Amino acid sequence: MIEVRPFSGLGHADHGWLDARHHFSFSSYYAPARMGWGSIRVWNDDTIAAHTGFPPHPHNDMEIVTFIRSGAISHEDSVGNKGRTGAGDVQVMSAGSGIVHAEYNHEDEATTLFQIWILPDARGGTPGWGQREFPRGDRSGRWVVLASGSPDADDALPIRADAKVLAATLFAGSSIIHDVQPDRHQYLVAPVGRIKVNGLPVEARDGVAITGETQIVVEAIDDCELVMVDAR
């Protein structure tokens, strides 16, 4: 089963400093049919204005993956972690038993990012945070695992969930294949470029919800970038 969810139909909240699109129910956007996809609970497509950001706020029992599309985000939290993550790179936060964090765009330009929340396999635990550079050139024509519940095997940032966050870039006219288990759930977004997923046309920033498949074939109509979560 593959369902294309057009960008124009996503939840939308414009706070001035933050322009957010919600693939799943979030905050004031409530869609009963979009409460999550497997263990994927949130996928927000955010544009954060220059010199603004999210002030300190709490989380618990959630794995939060932030994929920076342009600009940069600066993180600080209640357990002493601090760092700046730039375009094309990734940060992860395991909220565990509870953490307070802030995310600021200290840049002179807007920052665009995907923030993805995945339910952990178990509640509680010590909070954690990490970041890593993932050069776009390294994922040209192939999937690279950015975050994983098996970080050593996948050479990826760690998350405490049976899930993988992957990314790839494709040139127009090329394609890429990802073999999957039919009892798992995949959610795919191309932040840039038009694609086809198993023959279905998809516009940039549309969401693609997938389950019950054994293989995902992505064809690039334009030069494109892909971000996908494969979760239980």
Reported as a single tens digit per residue, the pLDDT across 49-101 is 999 999 999 999 999 999 999 999 999 999 999 999 999 999 999 999 999 99
| pLDDT value at residue 43 | 98
Domain span holding position 206:
2-231
When divided into structural domains, the chain yields a total of 1
Please give the C-alpha separations between residue 26 and each of 11, 30, 60, 113, in angstroms, as whole numbers. 8, 6, 16, 16
The CATH number for 188's domain is: 2.60.120.10
| pLDDT value at residue 168 | 98
| pLDDT value at residue 145 | 98
- Mean of pLDDT values over 144-166: 98
Q: 3-state class of 136 per DSSP?
A: helix
| pLDDT value at residue 151 | 97
How much of the chain exceeds pLDDT 90, in percent? Answer: 100
Could you identify the residue written with the tokens 């192939």?
142
Tokens of 44: 């927000």
Which amino acid, 188?
A: L
| pLDDT value at residue 171 | 98
- For residues 225 and 69, give the distance between their C-alpha atoms in angstroms, rounded to a whole number: 10
pTM for the structure as a whole: 0.97
Kindly tell me the sign of the dihedral angle through the C-alpha atoms of 99, 128, 112, 103: positive
| pLDDT value at residue 39 | 98
| pLDDT value at residue 184 | 98
pLDDT in tens, 180-223: 999 999 999 999 999 999 999 999 999 999 999 999 999 999 99
What residue spans of 141-222 are helical by DSSP H?
A: 151-154
| pLDDT value at residue 207 | 98
| pLDDT value at residue 214 | 98
Q: 3-state class of 95 per DSSP?
A: coil
**CB neighbour list of residue 184: distance below 8 Å, 6 or more residues apart:** 38, 211, 230, 231, 232
Structure confidence at residue 115 as a pLDDT band (50, 70, 90): very high
Could you identify the residue written with the tokens 């086809």?
196
| pLDDT value at residue 15 | 97
